[in-house]
């Protein structure tokens, strides 16, 4: 009698080495602490991860020694009534640096591992690209020094820039800045080390997502800075698109045969709702930031400005309703400089959404000012820089 021959399938996965298993379990445990709304105990970590108590004890010791977490004192009592020591993220150690180019200013921000803003600074924006990048380098260095004084080490830097960004470094086209194919990452590398560059509207949406968590999971954050940009968040994640270029809402047509835009097309939203275009009929670019100047003029009852704001709100509503009919989000945040003008824009945006979004009659879209407002992009940039450690703490532990 012959035994049946069992064919052994060739292994498709490589075996998990002990070291990568250790790193994997450490990341898994750390992410539980990152995601916990309150200090979490060792026992809760064991339950949440499925790892054994001794393994959790060893990982927690390693995270404590590496300065990534702290014991937060007795967090709660278990069923036995014994107090359990809660663990939370350390307010010292790794930090993220964000930089942002705004219409009226440059800004720099440091956030710690807990997501708390520890440093926020502003400086005027010089007109020339080279001067702008040199000043950003200075601000980045100053922010790193401020962080070091608070026992924080900057582990990553992200620059928020207008327009589409290629390969996380090159700003392809930012007409209002006069930038075309500017390698911002290369320009800042000498002063700041590796710098990621990302679109400002997307980073603003990330900042707002973090600030509003867990309440908001599906929304558009539309920012009126240079070009009008939309950061789209679906199921709690930023929608980047195939090449990271999603969200150029300013170049969606609201009238097919409108005026020619800087992009070469006609009838773009930018022409009707850009800050400079709202400001133009009433005043030359005034000394305060455009959004502030617009707000002052509108508050004083300036008719041209009020008419321009009405036109802008309507055009924004038209463009946003097309987007929402396709992607189905329940909330529009008026972000960046638009947050300062929300009281003038909301009515027009809501009116058009109610008219044009197919589902609005039984599920109206909520329109409101974004909580972080003009600071969202620089905070989002800093958060994206620290997020690499929050997702994988092993690189930090390896260098500590």
Q: Which residues bind Zn ion (CB under 5 A)?
A: 251, 261, 263, 265, 268
Q: Going by C-beta distance under 8 Å and a sequence separation of 6 or more, which residues neighbour residue 370?
A: 204, 208, 221, 333, 334, 335, 336, 338, 339, 376
Cα separation, 124 vs 106, whole angstroms: 6
Measured from the CB atom, the residue of 121 and 265 that comes closer to Zn ion is: 265
| Half-sphere exposure of residue 311: CA atoms within 13 angstroms, side-chain side | 20
Nearer to Zn ion, 249 or 261 (CB): 261
CB of 268 to Zn ion, least distance (A): 3
Q: Shortest approach of Zn ion to residue 174 CB, angstroms?
A: 13
**Shortest spacing between CB 208 and Zn ion, in angstroms:** 25
Nearer to Zn ion, 137 or 230 (CB): 230
CA pair distance 359, 221, nearest whole angstrom: 20
Q: How far is the CB of 163 from Zn ion (least distance, A)?
A: 11
Sign of CA dihedral 352, 354, 360, 363: positive
Least distance (Å) from Zn ion to the CB of residue 269?
8
Stated length of the chain: 400
Nearer Cβ to Zn ion (175/244)? 175
**Nearest distance, CB of residue 36 and Zn ion, angstroms:** 45
Q: What whole-number distance in Å separates Cα of residue 379 and Cα of residue 375?
A: 6
Q: In 3D, which of 261, 270, 291 has the Cα closest to residue 279? A: 291
Q: Which is nearer to Zn ion, 263 or 360 (CB)?
A: 263
**Dmax of the chain from CA atoms?**
100
Closest to Zn ion by CB, 261 or 376:
261
CB 166, CB 131: distance < 8 Å: no
Strand, helix or coil for residue 370: coil
């Amino acid at each position: 009698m012959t035994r049946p021959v069992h064919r052994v399938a060739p292994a498709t996965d490589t075996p998990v080495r002990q070291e990568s298993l250790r790193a994997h379990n450490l990341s898994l445990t750390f992410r539980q602490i990152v995601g916990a709304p309150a200090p979490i105990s060792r026992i809760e970590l064991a339950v949440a991860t499925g790892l054994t108590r001794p393994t959790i004890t060893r990982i927690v010791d390693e995270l404590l020694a590496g300065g990534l977490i702290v014991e937060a004192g007795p967090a709660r009592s278990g069923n036995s009534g014994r107090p359990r020591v809660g663990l939370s993220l350390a307010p010292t150690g790794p930090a993220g640096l964000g930089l942002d180019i705004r219409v009226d200013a440059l800004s720099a921000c440091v956030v710690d591992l807990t997501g708390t803003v520890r440093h926020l600074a502003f400086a005027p924006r010089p007109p020339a690209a080279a001067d702008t990048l040199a000043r950003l380098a200075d601000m980045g260095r100053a922010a790193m020094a401020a962080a070091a004084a608070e026992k924080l080490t900057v582990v990553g830097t992200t620059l928020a820039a207008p327009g589409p960004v290629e390969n996380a470094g090159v700003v392809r086209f930012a007409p209002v800045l006069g930038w075309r194919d500017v390698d911002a990452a290369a320009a800042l590398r000498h002063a700041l080390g590796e710098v990621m560059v990302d679109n400002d509207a997307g980073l603003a949406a990330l900042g707002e997502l973090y600030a509003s968590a867990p309440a908001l999971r599906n929304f558009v954050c539309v920012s009126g800075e240079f070009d009008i940009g939309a950061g789209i968040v679906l199921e709690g994640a930023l929608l980047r698109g195939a090449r990271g270029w999603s969200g150029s809402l300013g170049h969606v047509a609201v009238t097919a045969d409108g005026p020619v835009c800087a992009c070469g097309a006609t009838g773009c939203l930018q022409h009707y709702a850009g800050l400079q275009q709202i400001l133009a009929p009433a005043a030359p670019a005034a000394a305060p930031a455009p959004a502030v100047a617009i707000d002052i003029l509108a508050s004083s009852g300036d008719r041209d400005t009020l008419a321009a704001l009405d036109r802008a709100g309507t055009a924004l509503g038209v463009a946003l309703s097309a987007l929402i009919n396709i992607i189905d989000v329940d909330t529009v945040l008026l972000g960046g400089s638009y947050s300062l003008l929300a009281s003038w824009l909301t009515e027009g945006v809501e009116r058009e959404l109610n008219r044009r979004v197919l589902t609005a009659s039984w599920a109206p879209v909520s329109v409101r000012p974004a909580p972080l407002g003009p600071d969202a992009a620089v905070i989002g940039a800093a958060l994206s820089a620290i997020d690499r450690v929050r997702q994988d703490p092993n690189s930090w532990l390896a260098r500590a």
